[in-house]
Structure formats: structure tokens, C-alpha cells
Amino acid sequence: MTTSTTAPTVGRARTAVATAFIVNGFAFASWISRVPAARDTLDLSAAQLGLLLLCLALGSGVALPATGPVVHRLGPARTVLAGAAVTTTGQLLLAAGLGTASVPLAAVGLALTGAGVGGWDVAMNIEGAAVERRLARPLMPRLHAGFSLGTVAGALLGAAAAALALPLPVHLVLVAAASFAAIALAVRSFLPADPDEEAARSEGSGVGRAWREPRTLLVGALTLAFAFTEGSANDWLAVALVDGQGVSEAAAAVGFACFVTAMTAVRVLGGSLLARWGRVATLRGGGATAVLGLLLFVVAPSLPLAVAGAVLWGAGAALGFPVGMSAAADDPARAAARVSVVSSIAYTAFLAGPPLIGVVAEATGIVDALLVVLVVLAAGLFAAGATRPLDAQPAESSAT
């Protein structure tokens, strides 16, 4: 392929994979923003709602380790499209369950939605890393910023739909149709298959081998630590502001918005930071910033200082997950297996994090319980060196 055709192809692929990230966040947040309406429609208690929402996480947990072999066999474009199709099917079943007040049908719909979003997530990260390699400059942080912007758009749509009293089943059907249409169009511009990847497909997916690779496991541990740092804020930051600072729910929501804004801003700027400082120094600086922000948030005697801590917390946590995905995908021939493994490790933070902090909070209060995040993040930062590009690694085995 000549340079004149390569540049437009990569440019289109960059736009296409950015669309996949944005729509993934949009589809996810469109549902999450309407959870109170689902609770009321199905007449669920808090415990019952928690069990229903667990179906979403379980669906993702099943899909994540299985996606590597699927991407290896089908390629990222078809896997993203398949994930979007499963997500759409799940949302339609969820809409049917809500329309008929059937909790079992809604649970099946949520499990399929989680599985579809999880598989879609892994495949789009693999494609994003491939585009990043072709561009020869950092791209993943901006793609993850796109996901964040998609969640904001989905949440705003959910708020508007609630304000207009749009029935939740109708809302879900419209979102499912629009999301699938956007993905079906976007994947047509994904990169053509890499010859090295095509050749590697006859050798098996390599997922089992990836689970035994020290570098892959260390990258997974680092990504888990940053995912735990980010996810803890998603679940508990607003609650901690209400309990610790005695503010209203509206003020706590503003504090959480400051966290999300800081994270998104750093992801937008992340490419420049990585180009200047490299992965390891950027991650260690980010981790130190997150530690400082968390400490300030926990000990802050006033709301402004607590919000300042939340801003530092969000800024410091921003780049761990996207850089982990880039590091896992350094070798294009083994990217599918390694991204699948790293994603599976990292996403346990979203499954185990909320209940772990909740249990500690029962004994210490939610503000002090957030100190658990410091322990996890500090441990994870010891693995930052594993994210060095493979051509800069000491001779370890990329083929372990």
C-alpha cells in the first residue's frame, strides 16, 4: 500500500474507532442514567436492584476472557459489530422486560448487554492500539476521553428523556437502534487485516499462553490498580462528599463532575504527555498525583479542598487504563490475547471494588475507607515498568 493511500486509510480508521469508543460509552450511560426508572417500573427493593445490576457485571465478566479468541478469529471490526449486535439484543430484551414488568427477562437482557459491551470494549481497544501503532504517536488516551464524552452524552440524553417522561422501554429501543446503526457504519472504515495477524490466526489464539506471561500479568495488575482508583470514585466519591462534608446531593454531584472533567481533560492531553515523558514516567507521575488527591480528599476540612482533591484524584487516575491497553497490544500478532487478559484482570476492580470499600466503610466510614484505594494504587505502581514498549524491554520473553 502506498503512502498516499495509507494516510487516508489510517485517518478514516482513527475516526471510526473513536466513534466506537464514543458510542460504547453512550449506550452504557443511556441505560445507567435511567436505573431509578427501572427500579420503579419493576418495583424493586435496593437489594433486588443490586442483584439485577449484578447481571450486567456478570455478563461482562464472562465475555471479557472469551473475546481474545473471538478477535483472533474474526478480527476487531467483526467482533465490535458482533458486540454491538449482542448489546442491541440485550437492550431490546431489557426493554421487553421493563414493558412487561418481567424481572427475569430484564435480567437476561442486562446480562446480554454486559456481554456485548464487554466484548465490544476489548475489540475496540485492540483496534485503537493498531491505529495508534500506524500513527506512531499516542492515541489511546484520546479514545478513552471519547468514551468519557460518550457517557456524558448518554447521561444527558437519559436526563432529558426522564424530564420528558419518555417511557424507558421506548428510550432503550431508540438508543439500541441508533447505536447499532452507528457501529455498523463505523466498522466499515476499520483498518484492513494485518498480514502478520492473519498468519498468526492459524496458530491458535494464545490466550492460555498470555495468562502465563509475566509482562502481561504485570500490565494487568497495573491496569487493575488504576481501574480501582477510577471506579472507586465513580461508586463512592459523591457519597463520601455527602457523608464527609455534609453537603447536599446536588453539591456532591458537582464534586463528582469535577472529578470526571479532570479525568477527561488529562485523557485529551495524554498523547502529548506520553510523547514527552514516556509511559513509565507518565504513569508514575499520574499515580503520585492520584495519591496526593486522595489524601487531600480524605483529610480535607472544607468542601473546596475536598473538590481540589477530587480534581487531582481524577487527573492522576486518567491514563492508567488506556496506557495499559496500549502496552498489552504492543505486539500486533498477540494483541487480541493480551488485551483480553489485561481487560479481564482490570475489570475485576469494577466487580470487587464497590463491595470491598463498602465492607470497610461499615467499620470506618466511607471517607476513611477510601484509603484502601491508596494501598491498591501504591502496589500497582510497582508494575509501571512493565508498560515500556516491547522494543525497550529487557530480554524477557514476548513468546513466553
Site of grid cell 479481564: 344
pTM: 0.79
Q: Which CATH architecture has domain 10-192?
A: Up-down Bundle (1.20)
pLDDT of residue 17: 96
pLDDT along the chain (400 residues), means of 10: 58 94 89 80 80 83 83 90 96 95 94 92 90 89 90 83 88 95 96 65 67 93 92 80 80 81 90 92 95 93 92 94 90 83 83 75 84 89 90 47
Cell, residue 308: 481540589
- Residue among 237, 285, 245 nearest 261 (CA): 237
pLDDT of residue 3: 40
For the chain, what are the domain ranges? 10-192, 208-389
pLDDT of residue 394: 53
Spell out the long-range contacts of 301-308 with Cβ–Cβ below 8 A and sequence spacing 24 or more.
Answer: 302/245, 303/241, 303/245, 303/247, 303/251, 303/255, 306/241, 306/244, 306/245, 306/255, 307/254, 307/255, 307/258
Vertex 194, ends 188 and 196: CA angle to 5°? Answer: 160
pLDDT of residue 200: 53
Site of grid cell 475516526: 15
Q: Which CATH architecture has domain 208-389?
A: Up-down Bundle (1.20)
